[in-house]
A = this chain, B = another copy of it.
Amino acid sequence: MIKILKLDHRPERDKRITTHCALVARAFCAEEFYYSGIEDYRIEENIKNIKEKWGGDFKIEYVEKPSAFIKKVKEEKKTIIIHLTMYGEQIIKIINNVSSKINIEKLDLLIVVGGPKVPKLYYELADYNVSVTNQPQSEVGALAVILYLLNPDALNEKDFKNNKIKLIPNNTYKDVINLK
C-alpha cells in the first residue's frame, strides 16, 4: 500500500500542482492521497470525477495536522516514511532497500511531498529524506519518478476496475471506448 501526503496546499497557488501530484499518484497505482494546508473541495471533486470515469480505488482526503498524521501512520502499522526533498540522499541509493521492505517485508509506504520551506520536523519524522536529481526540481516530476521506480509495471497497459471509459493506445490519434 503506497500513500502520498502533500504538505501545505494553498488553493490559489497550488491548485494545479496538487492536482497533478494526485494524478501522478493515481496513474502509478498509489492507493491513498492526503493533503494538508487549506482544505480545497475543488481538487477533491476533480480527482473523484476522474476516478468515477477512469476507475480504480484511489482515495483523496484532507489532513488538518500533517505531523500528527505521520506519527499516527508510523504507530498504527509498520510504515516506511519517505520525505521527497531536493536536499535528500540520491533516490537510487535507497530504492532497492525500500522496494524489498515493501515487496518482501510487506511494509506500507508513505511518501511526504513538501516544497521549499518544509520545517525540520518533517526531515526528522522521515526514515529517508530523498532527492530525485539534487537539483531544483518539480515535486510532481520527483513523485512520478519515485513511483515509477517502485512500480515500473504501471507503464504496461492495464484497466483500473469499474472504469467507464478505456483508451486504445495508438500512434495516430485519440481512440476512446465508452464501456458503460
Contact = CB atoms under 8 A, between A and B. Distances in A.
B90 A157 contact: yes
Contact of A28 (B13, B21, B133): B133
Interface in A1-60: 13-14, 16-17, 20-21, 23-24, 26-28, 50, 54
A148 interface: yes
B140 A140 contact: yes
Interface residues of A, number: 53
Interface string A110-142: 000000000010010000110111111110111
Contacts of A84: none
B136 A23 contact: yes
Interface stretch (A72-80, A96-104, A168-176): A168-176
B89 A171 contact: yes
9 contacts: A13-B16, A20-B140, A23-B135, A26-B136, A27-B138, A86-B167, A129-B173, A132-B144, A135-B160
